[in-house]
């Protein structure tokens, strides 16, 4: 059984994240989505809220689980018997930062591989930050945020 982990802040989950999840779930026997903290980001939603939103969005995808992660991703991967870390790439700027993370993870545990999944062109502009900015000005976030959670995201972000 090939297990992979897809870590991120998912604050909130976007259509781009969901696309990576669906595609990775077709490749791997089991996919674990890890809701992580990023100390350089101030999250709008709690870890528990983010986990619950992801669970709503992945209903019907049987081989995907969601966990709240703490600490280093490579340690979480090992704890969950995952040998692969899945990361999404939208643009060259993502690649540069993701390469630095992948290299650090490789130095921490060279038995865990990082696999980059390139965003579909129509989703390459999506980010949680952009969606939150649009929502904060009462803009339409459909197309950015999965339909299953638009109402709760809007309630928290609309002014």
Question: Residue 154 catalytic?
Answer: no
Query: 128, 9 in Cβ contact below 8 A?
Result: yes
C-alpha to C-alpha distance for 25 and 41, rounded to whole angstroms: 27
Q: What does the pLDDT read at residue 159?
A: 56
Question: Residue 22 catalytic?
Answer: no
Counting every residue written for the chain, the total comes to 159
Looking up residue 43, the CATH number of its domain turns out to be: 3.40.50.620
Q: Which helix (H) or strand (E) holds 89?
A: strand 84-89
Q: Which helix (H) or strand (E) holds 132?
A: helix 128-136
> Residue 159 domain-assigned?
no
> Residue 143 domain-assigned?
no
Task: Please write the tens of the pLDDT for every residue from 42-54.
Answer: 889 999 999 999 9
> Residue 61 domain-assigned?
yes
> Residue 137 domain-assigned?
no
Question: Which domain range does residue 102 map to?
Answer: 3-124
> Residue 140 domain-assigned?
no
Quickly state the pLDDT bin for 155 (edges 50, 70, 90). Answer: confident
Q: What does the pLDDT read at residue 93?
A: 77
Catalytic residue (one of 50, 51, 87, 90): 90
> Residue 59 domain-assigned?
yes
C-alpha to C-alpha distance for 37 and 5, rounded to whole angstroms: 15
- Mean pLDDT rounded to a whole number for the chain: 92
> Residue 74 domain-assigned?
yes
φ/ψ of 116, rounded to 5, equals -95, 130
Q: Which helix (H) or strand (E) holds 102?
A: helix 92-108
C-alpha to C-alpha distance for 81 and 5, rounded to whole angstroms: 9
Task: Please write the tens of the pLDDT for every residue from 108-148.
Answer: 999 999 999 999 888 888 889 999 888 888 889 998 999 99
Question: Residue 132 catalytic?
Answer: no
pLDDT surpasses 90 at 94: no
* Domain count of the fold of the chain: 1
C-alpha to C-alpha distance for 5 and 28, rounded to whole angstroms: 10
Question: Residue 128 catalytic?
Answer: yes
Order of all β-strands in the sheet with 3-8: 64-68, 30-35, 3-8, 84-89, 113-118
Catalytic residue (one of 50, 51, 87, 128): 128
| Residues 154-159, mean pLDDT to the nearest whole number | 77
Query: 130, 91 in Cβ contact below 8 A?
Result: no
Quickly state the pLDDT bin for 104 (edges 50, 70, 90). Answer: very high
C-alpha to C-alpha distance for 123 and 108, rounded to whole angstroms: 31
Catalytic residue (one of 26, 41, 46, 136): 41
> Residue 131 domain-assigned?
no
Catalytic residue (one of 17, 50, 51, 132): 17
């Amino acid at each position: 059984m090939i297990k992979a982990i897809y870590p991120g802040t998912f604050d909130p989950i976007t259509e781009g994240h969901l696309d990576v999840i669906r595609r990775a779930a077709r490749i791997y026997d089991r996919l674990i989505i890890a809701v992580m903290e990023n100390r350089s980001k101030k999250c709008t939603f709690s870890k528990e809220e983010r986990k619950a939103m992801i669970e709503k969005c992945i209903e019907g995808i049987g081989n995907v689980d969601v966990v709240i992660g703490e600490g280093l991703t490579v340690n979480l991967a090992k704890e969950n018997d995952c040998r692969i870390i899945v990361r999404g790439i939208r643009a060259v700027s993502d690649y540069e930062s993701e390469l630095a993370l992948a290299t650090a993870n490789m130095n921490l545990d060279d038995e865990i591989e990082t696999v980059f999944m390139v965003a579909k062109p129509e989703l390459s502009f999506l980010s949680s930050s952009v969606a939150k900015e649009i929502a904060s000005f009462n803009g339409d976030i459909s197309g950015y945020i999965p339909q299953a959670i638009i109402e709760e995201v809007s309630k928290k972000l609309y002014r």
